Structure 1
Amino acid sequence: MIDLSTLTLTARDTALELHPDVGGAIGRLLHKGRDYMRRTPDEPRDVLETASFPLVPFCNRIKDGTFAVGTQKVKMKPNLGDHPHTLHGQGWRARWKVAEQSPSRAVLTFRHKADEWPWEYEARQVFELRPAGLRVWLSVKNLSATAMPAGLGFHPYFNRTPQTRLKAQVDGVWMADQDCLPTEWQAGLWRKDWPLGDFVSDSVLIDHCHSGFMGRADVYEDGTPLLTLRASPDCHWLHIYVPPGEDFFCAEPVNHMPDPFNHANSGLRCLKPGDVALIWMDISLHS
C-alpha cells in the first residue's frame, strides 16, 4: 500500500486532489484553473470541509442509530456532535489506504472490522480522471459470515451563487421532520421545480431526499451549463441539501432513502457473505 495524506491526479487541463486520510474524500476538482466543486482548505481536519466524500455502508440517517436485522439488534453511537441519529456509515469518518496510483487514476480502500456495526466489510473507491471529467466507483464487499445490510452513495458539494440553477428529473420528495428524518412522501414538486431547472437558493433549509431520480443532474451558472452529474441506474434517489446563506449546495446520488430500516421499499440491499454492491458517479465539466 502507498501511504499518502494527499495525492493529485491530472489529465491535461484537469486536476483532482484526494485526501485519503480524511474520509477518502475529494479535496478539489479543477478544470482550466476553475474549481468545479467546493474547494477544501489546504489542511482539512474534518471531512465536512471537503468537496465530496463516500457514503458506506449506508446513506444519511438511521433513527437513533438503532435497527434490527432478524433477531439481531444493532445500536450505534451518534457520529455528528450531539445529533442523535447516526449518519452515513463508517467510511466518511475513516482513513483510507491508497492501493493504486497512476497519473490519472487512483484506488482507495477501507476495511471495517466488526464493532457496533457487527459486520466486517471492505469498501473501495476507484477514481478515473479525464481531460474534462471524472468518474468515481464506490463498492462494498461483505466479508462477514452473515448477511449484511448495505447502501451506497456520494456526497458532493458544489459552488453556489445567486445565479446557480439545478436541473434533475425526480418524481417526488420525502418530507422531513426537524431532525431531517423522512415522514411522508409527496408526489411532484415541493418548493423547487428541479425537473424544469430552478435556482439553488431558498430562505429555509432544504435537506430532503427526492425519489424517482433519473440519474442525471445539470448545474448551470448564469444560464450557462457548468457541469453534468450522472449516476449509476440503481441510484434512484437524489438528496438535495441547500443551507441558507452558504455558498455551496449538495446534490447526492444515493441508492436508498434516509432511515431505510423504518420504511418499506427503501432501496437498502442485503449482501450475502462475499457479495459486492457497486455504484458510480460521473461528473462532466463544461468550460
Structure 2
Amino acid sequence: MSNEDITLTAGNAEVHVSSAHGGRISGLKVDSLELLRQGHRYGCFPMVPWCGRIRDGRFLDGGAVRQMPLNSPPHAIHGTARDGAWRVARVADNEAVITYDLVEPWPHPGRVTQVVTLTEDSLSLTMSVEARDDSFPAQIGWHPWFNRTLAGEDGAVGEDVVLDFKPAWQEERGADHLPTGNRIDPRPGPWDDCFGMPDGVDVTLTWPGQLELKVTSRDEWVVVYDEQAEAVCVEPQTGPPNGLNTAPRLVTPLEPLEATTTWSWRRL
C-alpha cells in the first residue's frame, strides 16, 4: 500500500496516523477532547533507532565510531525515522501496521515496524527493529506531546494536567542535558529528565474534571519534559539518553528489539 494518512476509530475514540510524516500519531481524540498537541513537529513521533540525545552525535558500533548528523547541536537527537516516510503495510478498522526501512545516515540496513491498535479506552503502540545483515545497537521510544490543557466541545479550556509517577531514581542531568551516569533521588520539576522505573513505566496524567490517562510500558526508562507552556511529554523508551554509548541494546538478524507502550484512559 502507498503512503497515506490513516484514521482508526473505536467507540468514541479516534486516532490519526500520519505514515508519510515520520510515522507519527498526529491526533488522538476521546469524545471531543484532542489529547495531543497539533502541528508539524508534535503529535507523538517514534524515536528510533535511538532515543533522546547522542553526545556529539557519536556512538561506538563494535570497533567503529559512527557519526550522526548534529540536528540538535552539539548533539544528535531522537533518531532518524521521525524524518522519513513510512510505508503502510496493513489497515483494519482499529489497527494499522506501518514500516520504515533504515537508510543513511544510519549505517546499517534494517526495518522498523510499528503496530497501532485502538480500543474504546486504550491505544497500544508496538515497535520492533530488525537487522537485515549485521548486528547493531539501537533504541526504541515514543515522544508524545500531550496538551497541557484540554478544550471541550464548547471551547471551554480545562485546568492544567497533573502528572503522577513514582520513579526509583532520576538520572542526574549534566550541563549538556545528558545523564552524567549518577543516579539521584527524584527531584521536583520542571523536568527535561530521565527516570528509572524498574517495574515498568507507569505515569498517570490527569486533566481535572475531564480525563485520566495512564502511560505504561514494560520498559524501565521514561523521559519527562514539561518545560513548555503548551504541552507535557512522557516518553517511554528502552534505554536512557545517550544509551547507544552507555547502555547499548544489540539488534541481531536473529533477535530484534521490540517495545510496547499502552495509553489507557477514563473520563472524569
When normalised by structure 2's length, the TM-score is: 0.89
Asked if 1:112 is matched to 2:112, the reply is no
Asked if 1:123 is matched to 2:112, the reply is yes
Of the candidates 25, 47, 59, which is equivalent to residue 51 of structure 2? 59
Which position in structure 2 is the counterpart of 1:3? Answer: 3
Which position in structure 2 is the counterpart of 1:283? Answer: 263
Secondary structure of the 1:64 match is helix
The Cα RMSD (Å) is 1.8
- Contact 2:137-2:244 at 8 Å conserved across structures: no
Map Cα deviations across residues 147-193 of structure 1 (whole Å, 9 max, x no partner): 1101111111112146321112211111223331112423322124x
- Contact 1:172-1:185 at 8 Å conserved across structures: no
Amino acid at match of 2:230: D
Which position in structure 1 is the counterpart of 2:179? Answer: 182
- Contact 2:3-2:20 at 8 Å conserved across structures: no
Q: Percent identity?
A: 27
Which position in structure 2 is the counterpart of 1:14? Answer: 13
- Contact 1:149-1:271 at 8 Å conserved across structures: yes
**Cα distance in 2 between the residues matched to 1:103 and 1:261:** 37
Secondary structure of the 2:236 match is strand
Map Cα deviations across residues 89-128 of structure 1 (whole Å, 9 max, x no partner): 2111111111111121111100113x34221110011011
Which position in structure 2 is the counterpart of 1:242? Answer: 226
> How far 1:261 moved relative to its partner?
4.2
> How far 1:24 moved relative to its partner?
0.4
- Contact 1:123-1:140 at 8 Å conserved across structures: yes
Judging changes above 3 Å, is the alpha-carbon distance between structure 1 residues 153 and 91 closer, same or farther for their aligned structure 2 residues? same
Amino acid at match of 1:218: T
Asked if 1:229 is matched to 2:229, the reply is no
> How far 1:3 moved relative to its partner?
2.9
Asked if 1:69 is matched to 2:54, the reply is no
Amino acid at match of 2:16: E
Which position in structure 1 is the counterpart of 2:196? Answer: 211
The gaps in structure 2 that reach 5 residues or longer are: 150-158
Secondary structure of the 1:189 match is coil
**Cα distance in 2 between the residues matched to 1:93 and 1:150:** 17
- Contact 1:159-1:248 at 8 Å conserved across structures: yes
State the number of aligned residues: 257
> How far 1:275 moved relative to its partner?
2.4
- Contact 2:165-2:204 at 8 Å conserved across structures: yes
Which position in structure 2 is the counterpart of 1:97? Answer: 87
**Cα distance in 1 between the residues matched to 2:244 and 2:262:** 28
**Cα distance in 2 between the residues matched to 1:93 and 1:3:** 14
**Cα distance in 2 between the residues matched to 1:163 and 1:9:** 28
- Contact 1:242-1:248 at 8 Å conserved across structures: yes
**Cα distance in 2 between the residues matched to 1:230 and 1:68:** 30
**Cα distance in 2 between the residues matched to 1:87 and 1:117:** 13
- Contact 2:57-2:74 at 8 Å conserved across structures: yes
- Contact 2:113-2:127 at 8 Å conserved across structures: yes
**Cα distance in 2 between the residues matched to 1:91 and 1:251:** 19
When normalised by structure 1's length, the TM-score is: 0.84
**Cα distance in 2 between the residues matched to 1:22 and 1:88:** 15
